[in-house]
Amino acid sequence: MKVMALVTSALIISYTLSGCGGGGGDSGGSHRVVAVAGLDHYVGLGETVTLDGSASYTTESTPLIYDWEFLDLPKGSTAGPLPTNSFNPVATFVADAEGTYEVQLTVSDSNLASGIIPDTDTVKISAPMLTLFGGSDNDKAHDIRLTIDGGYIVAGGTASMGNGGTDFYLIKIDDSGLLEWEAAFGGIEDEIANSIVQADDGGYVAVGNKWPGMYILKTDSIGNLLWDHVITPGAVGRYTANSIQKTIDGGYIVVGKKDKSIALNKFDSSGNHLWESLLGQYDSEGHDVQQTPDGGYIIAGQSKPNTFYDSDVYLVKTDINGSFEWEKTFGSAWDDVGYSIRITPDGGYAIAGEKSFESWEAFVHMYLVKTDSNGNLLWENTFLTEGISYARSLQLTSDGGYAMTGGGMVLVKADASGNYEWHRSFGGARGARGYSLAISTDNNYVIAGSSGRSTTDAYVVKTDGVITLW
């Protein structure tokens, strides 16, 4: 197993004015030119960087001449050359390598006889270091949770280590993103972990799939296996286990799918299976579950009313024993899915997922739904970002708003009313996908997912929403 340190593909452009108003001037001291490169902005690896010097100015009425040049390039970059002696203030290049680009803009008066001294502005495009976890084969991170020591536990799948095929993959990292330990669990069949929680004793309980059943296991705080169980669906059919949460009695609740029904399964603290409740309509799946203040459960997922309809976002409430109480659906005439749910401070629910406007991927938007405690719609909003746009994970933020991550490893921030505030992209040309989002102890955002195209690695990034921290 290898741990690879790479730079993020969310490249940050910062500008430092080196001569603004201070360097230029004619022989009489009354005329000058000022170079201004523009505002800071992000680009992704493989994207086009636009350098805009149009805010530069002169105290004369003569046109300006713009000269752009690279002062430094990251290793492996073939960007450039940039235009010189041009009347056009705009220059572009492709960010073809991860690292730091340093570009200098020189602005001069086109009247060379004026004697006005040219002015310069330096542009830096930089990306801090990140860590990828994985080996030579496919590895993915599907869930990340904050741990009691301020670090993080990550669950997913690895084909780079273990006993063959894909195995459960657990990664423990500290609050700086450094690896503490990693472990793989499973047999010669394929097993993949979809969700994980920290137990009251400091260990970890992970759940996922082991064809055709559900696989649940517990480790101690350093990744040693304590117990594991396989729950089989019977003579026919299959299980999918998507989300696990701790319950108020010290046990665990797991939601997923059994055949064509939402499967809600209760386990005690030792992983013994206590009961199962099957819910939903014609074809349904539960993607996330939370225990409600009354001891019951609220589930977000998707459901089809019959074979002729596409799926809707499905919200279903049960009592403490998994018995059905009520259900609601939301969405469009096309396929819509609820992937993540949170109980909001007002007692209602926030659901994040995807909403389709056509029957193909290009028309899929991030979807955020807010309801009251009875599931009645209060508001909804969609968000379209670059690349594939869907929300796989939702967190409530300290300002009362919402943060989501999903396709393309995009982080989207919305205010308390669901209005768009900002978004950032991570992963760029590496084909990254965001699967899970955690809020750190210092109130920043930590995203886990996968990165890579022909093969993938588990990918974790921490950001304050402006810069990448690790």
Q: Indicate the average pLDDT of the chain.
A: 86
Q: Which of 271-280, 335-344, 387-396 is least confident?
A: 387-396
The 8-class DSSP code of residue 468 comes to B
Position 27 pLDDT exceeds 50: no
Question: Of 199-208, 209-218, 224-233, 362-371, which gets the smallest average pLDDT?
Answer: 362-371
Tokens representing 234? 């019977």
* Residues 410/388, Cβ–Cβ less than 8 Å: no
**347 has a pLDDT exceeding 80:** yes
- The string of pLDDT tens digits covering residues 117-167 is 899 988 777 554 456 787 888 999 999 999 999 999 999 999 999 888 899
* pLDDT reported for residue 113: 67
What is the pLDDT, as a whole number, of residue 26?
A: 41
188: number of Cβ within 10 Å: 10
Q: What is the mean pLDDT of residues 281-300?
A: 96
pLDDT band for position 5 (50/70/90)?
very low
Residue 16: per-residue pLDDT: 36
* Least reliable range by pLDDT among 95-99, 114-118, 261-265: 95-99
Kind plus residue range of the DSSP H or E element containing 6: strand 2-7
Token digits for 144? 């990340």
pLDDT value for 19: 40
In the prediction, which pLDDT does 118 show? 92
In the chain, the domains with their CATH numbers are 2-127 (2.60.40), 130-463 (2.130.10.10)
Amino acid at site 15:
Y
pLDDT bucket at 112, cuts 50 / 70 / 90: confident
At residue 386, the pLDDT reads 58
Q: What is the pLDDT of residue 366?
A: 92
What CA dihedral angle connects 311, 190, 162 and 159, to 10 degrees? Answer: -60
pLDDT on residue 133: 86
